[in-house]
Structure 1
C-alpha cells in the first residue's frame, strides 16, 4: 500500500538494459485524470517476456525513451472519474493493455480504452486474461479455424501464453502437444497435453510419433530456426502461427537467421503448393486494426474465468518491490506459468 495517504509507488525504467535498471519510485501525490480519463487503483499487473524485451529496447512497438514506467497489462478498480466520463462507474473493475505503464499502484487512462470486468474476480487470475490468454484465444479462434479433435503443437508450452494455449485448446476440444523443459513437464501435462522435452528429444520426430501425418496447427514463439521445424510438422492444410522471437533475445538466434525465418514465413512458404499456410500474430497490431475484437475477446475470457472454467498457471504473486528479482528470473526462462505483481502491497 502507499506509504502515506496520497502517496503511491511505481516501477521506473531508468535506462535500457538488464534488471538492474529498474527502480521503485514513490510519488508524493496521486495522478489526476484529464477530461475523458479515469484514475485507476491498480490491483495487479502482469509480467512476462515482452516486458523484458521492452526493458532491453528490443520491442519495436515502444518508441518511448527512458525513464518511463514498465508494465504491459494491468487489472484494477476505477478510483476517480475525469470530466465528461460516463461510460464507467466508480468502483468498477476494469482492465487495459497499454504496453507500458502497468507497474504502478495508480494510473490515469482514457476511459474508452478500458475493458469492463465482472466483480469478484481474483485480480491475479484476471490479469492473466489480458495479454496471455487473449493472445492465445485470438490465435486459436481468429488466426486458425480448428475442429474438435484436431491436433496442435505449442512451443514454450510452460510459459504464460503457452499454458494459456494448452488450457483454452483443451476447452475447445483440441488435442494439444507442448514442448518445454523437464522442469515444466508437470505443468504441461497438468493441462492434458502430451509433453515433448525439446532439450533431449527431436521435436519433429516426436511430433511424427504423436501425430502421424502432422499436426493441424503450430503456435511458435521461438524464432526463425524453430519456425522451419514447425512448418515441417504440419499436415497438408495445416497452419503455422508465429508470434515471437524468443531465441533472438536469448542469443540462440542471430538477426540474419530471424530475417530469413520471416522471409520464409511471410513469402517463400506461401508460394509452395503444399496446402500449408503461415502467418505472424501480434496482439497490439491486431488490436489497433480490430479494437472491438480485443474488447469482445477479453470480455469473453473474463466471463469464462468468472464461470470457473479457466485456471491460469500462476507461478507467484510478488510485490512491486520484488521487480528486479522477478526480471532476473524472467531472463533466465525458469518460470513455469506467469508471475503476477500484487500492486496493493
Structure 2
C-alpha cells in the first residue's frame, strides 16, 4: 500500500457457483499493494442489478468462471495509489464500472476507470445512477436519438434502468408509456408515465391503443419471442433498443445462445427496407477498440446524469439499502420482482 495507508483487509461476497442467494459466501483477505496505474477504492455504495441475477444462474453472456466476486459498479473513496498514479487521488470520491468485483469493502481498480462524483451527492444516490444512468442516457440519446415531442415505450419502467430512463425522457419532453405491475402504476403516473400492466396478456394491444400510429422507440430488456411484438410497435423511422434477455434467465442451456439468437433477429430486421431500425445496446461496445475514448464517453455521460441529479431533475429510485454483510437479503429482494428502483449495498446500514 502507499506509505500513508496501512495494510488493508477486504471483505468480499463470493458467488461460488450456481447457487440460490443463500449460497453466497463471505471471505476476507489482505489486498496486495496496488500496481502501476492502480488505486484501492473503499466501497461506499454498490448494488444489485439484473446482471448479477443472471450470473447467479450462470446465464450472463460473458461472466467469469466460478467462483468470483460479483458487483457491476460502485462508488467509493480512494485510499491508496500505486506507482505512477497521482497520489492526490487519495481521499477523493469516484464511481467505477467493474462488471464484477464490487461486492467488497475494498477493491483495486485502474485509475483510468475512475469517474468523478461530486462530494455533495450521496454515494448511494450516485451508485443508483452509475451503470443504470449511463445505460439509460446512452440508449436514449446515443442509440435511439429520441427527440422532444416523440413517444417511447419502456418495458420494466419501474426497474433500475427503466425508472431512470423514464425520468430522463420526461425531463426532455418525451411522452412515455411504461410497463410494470399494477403496484407500481401510481408511482409511474407521478413521474408523468402512462402505465400498462406487464402481466396483461393483451399488453401490446393496450399499448397500440395508446399509440395507434406507432411509437418512436421501444426499450426492451426482456428479449425472447415477444421482441417481435416490440418491433411491431414502431412507426416508420422508429428504433427498437434491446438491452437484455430477461425472458431466458431461468432457461437451462448455453448462456450465449439467447443473445446470439437475438442478434440474428435484430440483424434480419435491419436488412428489411421498412424505415425502422433495431439495435442491441452493449455498455462495453467500443472498449476494446479504443479504451480511452470509451472511458471518456462513460465519464461524460455520467457527468450529465449526475448534473441532473444535482439539479433535482432526476431523482434516483433507491428500493432499499442493505449492509455488505447482508448481501443475501439484498439479492433476494432484488429478485422478488416487487421493488421499484435499485437495491443498494453499503458498508453498514
Fold agreement, TM-score > 0.5: yes
User: 2:48 — aligned with what?
Assistant: 47
User: 1:272 — aligned with what?
Assistant: 272
- 1:99 equivalent to 2:99? Answer yes
Q: CA deviation at 1:284?
A: 1.9
Q: CA deviation at 1:104?
A: 0.8
User: 2:61 — aligned with what?
Assistant: 60
- 1:19 equivalent to 2:21? Answer yes
- 1:343 equivalent to 2:344? Answer no
User: 1:214 — aligned with what?
Assistant: 214
**Aligned-residue CA RMSD in angstroms?**
2.3
Contact 2:164–2:314 (CA under 8 A) maintained in structure 1 = no
Q: CA deviation at 1:260?
A: 4.8
- 1:226 equivalent to 2:239? Answer no
* Equivalenced residues, count: 338
Contact 1:178–1:194 (CA under 8 A) maintained in structure 2 = yes
Matched residue SS, 1:284: coil
User: 2:125 — aligned with what?
Assistant: 125
- 1:10 equivalent to 2:12? Answer yes
Contact 2:12–2:69 (CA under 8 A) maintained in structure 1 = yes
Does the C-alpha gap of structure 1 residues 178 and 286 become closer, same or farther in structure 2, counting only changes over 3 Å?
A: farther
Matched residue SS, 2:226: helix
Once the two structures are superposed, what CA deviation does each residue of 1:54-113 show, in whole Å capped at 9, x if it has no partner? 222221222x32222110000011111211112852111111111000011111111111
Q: Which runs of 5+ in 1 are unaligned?
A: none
Give the TM-score of the pair, scaled to structure 2: 0.90
User: 2:316 — aligned with what?
Assistant: 312
Contact 2:113–2:295 (CA under 8 A) maintained in structure 1 = no
Give the TM-score of the pair, scaled to structure 1: 0.91
Contact 1:224–1:262 (CA under 8 A) maintained in structure 2 = no
User: 2:325 — aligned with what?
Assistant: 321
Once the two structures are superposed, what CA deviation does each residue of 1:201-223 show, in whole Å capped at 9, x if it has no partner? 52222222211200100000001
Matched residue SS, 1:208: helix
Aligned ranges 1:68-79 → 2 under 5 Å: 68-79=68-79
Does the C-alpha gap of structure 1 residues 334 and 110 become closer, same or farther in structure 2, counting only changes over 3 Å?
A: same
Aligned ranges 1:269-308 → 2 under 5 Å: 269-289=269-289, 290-308=294-312
Q: CA deviation at 1:21?
A: 2.6
Q: CA deviation at 1:236?
A: 0.9
Contact 2:10–2:107 (CA under 8 A) maintained in structure 1 = no
Q: CA deviation at 1:329?
A: 2.7
Between the aligned partners of 1:24 and 1:171, the Cα distance in structure 2 is 41
Between the aligned partners of 1:200 and 1:95, the Cα distance in structure 2 is 38
